[in-house]
Structure 1
């Protein structure tokens, strides 16, 4: 390998329990880490098509937690957040949904993440 300038490993976390989801939401509240959650289904072709792009985003935006949630495995979480179509992307800041995008639209999700990041400023008192 020449140059050794590989991108960092993607940090997409597959959420497979409600406890794991709750843990990430609590971390978001306590330390301010934004979350991008990809609600998907193993049978949904657009969801599957977004997976490589989602991993690329995770590499590009290291200070955001990227989570995937299979709606068939975690129906209660999907229902709580009113996910009715896949893929659905939720932008969560301090435990609150601040953005939602339904559908496989790579450019729009990246734009919304950038906007989400820019609004993630810390105010010092």
Structure 2
């Protein structure tokens, strides 16, 4: 499986583009503070859990996690998966205390509820599965 998003270089200018993996539309590339705020607000209003992947295009562990992150995004479509380049949005990365890449931050109702630092596919899958179960259980009891 290929990367669902990547950073492309075009004549010295950095430009983000999604690779043609149509099945990974659930990974949203965040390229501005405005887009970040809009996606977080939208997910909060919809009652969705957000998983934010803070990574860097030069980071090998980040690159190795991309296929797994995309697969999880395809599997857990009730959640919102975001991809943030720490170099491109340093202000955002600093505001969430990102000190290593990759770092996965989990949000519910617009607030951070968990964090995973490092490229451990199994840990990421387990945390997302646990978030999904807790989100479903809460929805069922609140109905």
Q: Which runs of 5+ in 2 are unaligned?
A: 1-21
Q: Which runs of 5+ in 1 are unaligned?
A: 1-7
Equivalent residue for 2:23?
9
Higher RCO, 1 or 2 (CA under 8 Å, sep at least 6)?
1
Equivalent residue for 1:58?
73
In structure 2, distance between residues paired with 1:57 and 1:117: 11
In structure 2, distance between residues paired with 1:29 and 1:37: 14
TM-score for the superposition, normalised by structure 1: 0.90
Aligned-residue RMSD, C-alpha: 1.1
**CA deviation profile, 1:14-62 (whole Å, cap 9, x unmatched):** 1111100000111122111111110000111101111111111111111
Equivalent residue for 1:32?
47
**CA deviation profile, 1:50-101 (whole Å, cap 9, x unmatched):** 1111111111111111110000010111011100100000111110111100
Paired residue secondary structure (1:72): coil
TM-score for the superposition, normalised by structure 2: 0.79
Select 2:93's aligned residue among 64, 78, 99: 78
The structure with the greater share of residues assigned to strand is 2
Pairing 1:49–2:64 present: yes
Equivalent residue for 1:5?
none
Aligned length: 117
